[in-house]
Amino acid sequence: MSTTSKVLIGLGVIAAGVLALKCGKAPKVSQTKKLAEKITFKPAQTLEEAAQFGKNNLGIQNYRGFEAADKEVVNFANEGFVTLSNKVSGNTNMPKYFEFRNFEGGYAATTTDGGIVLNKNFFRNIDSELAGRLSVLEKQGVLIRNAENQIGVSGFIDEAYAKDILKHIERYNKGEITTLKDKMYLYNWFDDALQVGSAPFNSPLKSIKAILKNNDAVEILKSKGILTDIAQIEKLSTKEQASLFMRMIKDGNLPISIGEGAGKGVSPFHAIYHEIGHLNDNVVSGGWVSQADEQIAGLVSGYAMTKPREFIAETYAKLISGKKLPDEVLELYKKLNGPAII
Ligand SMILES: [Zn+2]
């Protein structure tokens, strides 16, 4: 298989599941609690001090499951809570409790009964989690090894992103990424790269419409017998549209650049922001009723496509992180009553 096909097929199948999150039942939250407008974070020297900081400044009543060796994890999380709170001037709910324990699925965090749980396995093995993320990038064809086993980036990848990714990998290989915060930043950076790369396939109707705006492309596609009638295309399922989009690029030999904007507006605290998004959301349970909305969610991430509730949490987390998101995403977020970000 050619490198091109590998990249496209690889990116096409990323979809849901690469994000390190898992979410339980929606917690009942009555009213958004107001914290101080500006909280100053200072890393604690002991676990007790960290828990006291959370209690005094964030209203988190209970820290449990942490051991002395996990001090960096608690400080990391407290910094995430503080950073988020400061971004919304204290207009946020905080978890009732904050817990460290193992749970299934390899996810980083989850919410239960108004609390947030971090996965002990994930955070204690962050180095192998990071290595795993890199191997996914290679498996998906974003990264390619040459005959000398040197790593490079597929020609389909946006140039600026390709440069950044190699820089990050070099720092990682040199052992320059040492703190949990830096490791989580890199983890989320790689994850963002995958999400941005898969967005055109998550939202194939938008991608197809962009191609069909180009008359030359339409002529080429027609001559190859590829469907170009938009009314017919709209009736296809998302999966069928994604296959059609793939065929348009491959058989139509159309140029495409994947990953533009990847790695921009990334925060080390994504998982924490996501869970706090749940603590602030007003979304009713249930799945997507509209294929169009589901595809818009796919512009945020594969995980956001799973259900409206996850779309809200994912979008909230990315907005807090300063990620630039398409207009239709912001409109859907508003329509679904996503928590305001002031
Ligand atoms: Zn979630």
pLDDT tens digits, 172-182: 889 999 999 99
Secondary-structure breakdown of the chain: helix, strand, coil percentages, each rounded to the nearest 5:
50, 10, 40
Are 219 and 182 in contact, with CB atoms under 8 Å apart?
no
Which stretches does DSSP call E strand in the chain?
62-64, 97-101, 109-112, 115-119, 143-145, 151-153
- Taking residues 183-212, report their average pLDDT: 91
Question: What pLDDT sits at residue 26?
Answer: 47
Between the CA of 144 and the centroid of ligand 1 the distance, in Å, is: 32
- Closest by CA position to 137, among listed 86, 53, 198: 198
Between the CA of 303 and the centroid of ligand 1 the distance, in Å, is: 8
DSSP three-state, residue 21? strand
Between the CA of 41 and the centroid of ligand 1 the distance, in Å, is: 26
Angle 132-24-288 from CA coordinates, rounded to 5°:
90
Between the CA of 238 and the centroid of ligand 1 the distance, in Å, is: 22
Higher pLDDT, 61 or 164: 61
Between the CA of 203 and the centroid of ligand 1 the distance, in Å, is: 20
Between the CA of 228 and the centroid of ligand 1 the distance, in Å, is: 37
pLDDT in tens, 244-274: 999 998 888 887 777 777 888 999 999 999 9
Higher pLDDT, 156 or 63: 63
Between the CA of 1 and the centroid of ligand 1 the distance, in Å, is: 36
- Closest by CA position to 19, among listed 267, 197, 273, 190: 190
**Beta-carbon neighbours within 5 Å of ion ligand 1:** 23, 310, 313
Confidence of residue 106 (pLDDT cuts 50, 70, 90): confident
- Distance CA(76)–CA(123), nearest Å, equals 11
Tokens of 118: 């971090």
Between the CA of 299 and the centroid of ligand 1 the distance, in Å, is: 16
Q: For 251, which DSSP code?
A: T
- Taking residues 273-286, report their average pLDDT: 89
